[in-house]
Amino acid sequence: MQRFRTNGGGEYTSKKIASYLKQEAILKETTTPYTLQSNGVVERANSTIFEHVRCMLDDAGLSKKYWTFAVEAAVYLKNRTPTRSIIGETPYEAWHGKRPSMEHLRVFGCLAFVHIPKEKRKTLDYRATPGILVGYSISNQQYLVYDPLAKALHRSRDVIFREDRRYTALNAADDAILSDHFFRDVIVPEESKEELKKQIDIPQPVGSTPPINRQAGEAGSGRHNFHQTSKI
């Protein structure tokens, strides 16, 4: 690295940063205040990443509080995607010297079941707990699965995915807790409500999914109705 160009933010103007750049003979450049075009490459990259984030959150039906997970996942995927700045290889290849594996990639925000080790459960406890796939651990090769009800982030290699389904509430109490985690933008016209009440099986709006079954991982249930088991 020969030049380090940033804005005038305090995180880049500390004495520690200045000392490190001087030690490594790196030229520090500061852009003009309120002039984004003076650092166009970085600003364009940030804009592209957040465009991805908007699409990922919208497709998964997740609220904005998951934006940090979406940013990390977007950058994770971007580093494994071809770019015009590096001909013939991805950023991951340029840094690590080998091609990245894509076999472990799954749909962001999909329903995921994390295996519960036998040391952490009793005989009749569930063998898996449901959650939302929110990313990947770079250092430990693990999936990141968030449980919004327990407010816990699970890091595990033993995860089963339902990529065609989303995490949904089991009952009204859970739905109230999850109200700020998901988009609730499905509106039923007034003239359609009476007609819907007459139907035995009310069709779900496009993009919605049936409630998950926590008993899918229940001990002693025999066969698990899962699509596939994946490990990184």
140-167 pLDDT tens trace: 789 999 999 889 999 999 999 999 998 8
Residue percentage of the chain with pLDDT more than 70: 75
Question: What mean pLDDT is reported for the chain?
Answer: 78
Residue percentage of the chain with pLDDT more than 90: 35
Average pLDDT over residues 42-70: 90
Q: 0.85 exceeded by the pTM?
A: no
pLDDT bracket for residue 215 (50, 70, 90): very low
pLDDT bracket for residue 196 (50, 70, 90): very low
Nearest to 61 by CA among 200, 229, 207, 232: 207
Average pLDDT over residues 31-38: 72
Q: What is the pLDDT of residues 69-97, one digit of tens each?
A: 999 999 999 999 988 888 888 999 998 99
- What pLDDT is recorded for position 34? 74
Q: Which residues pair with 135 in a beta bridge?
A: 144
Q: What is the pLDDT of residues 104-122, one digit of tens each?
A: 999 999 999 999 998 988 8
Residue of 189 and 103 predicted with greater confidence: 103
Q: How many CB atoms lie within 10 A of CB 151?
A: 8
- What pLDDT is recorded for position 172? 65
Q: Is the pLDDT of residue 200 over 50?
A: no
Average pLDDT over residues 204-218: 47
pLDDT bracket for residue 220 (50, 70, 90): very low
Evaluate whether 73 touches 55 at the Cβ level (below 8 Å): no
Residue of 200 and 107 predicted with greater confidence: 107
Evaluate whether 70 touches 108 at the Cβ level (below 8 Å): yes
HEC string of the chain? CCEEEECCCHHHCCHHHHHHHHHCCCEEEECCCCCHHHHHHHHHHHHHHHHHHHHHHHHHCECHHHHHHHHHHHHHHHCCCCECCECCCCHHHHHHCCCCCCCCCCCCCCEEEEECCHHHCCCCCECEEEEEEEEEECCCCEEEEEECCCCEEEEECCEEEECCCCCCCCCHHHHHHHHHCECCCCCCCHHHHHHHHHCCCCCCCCCCCCCCCHHHHECCCCCCCCCEEECC
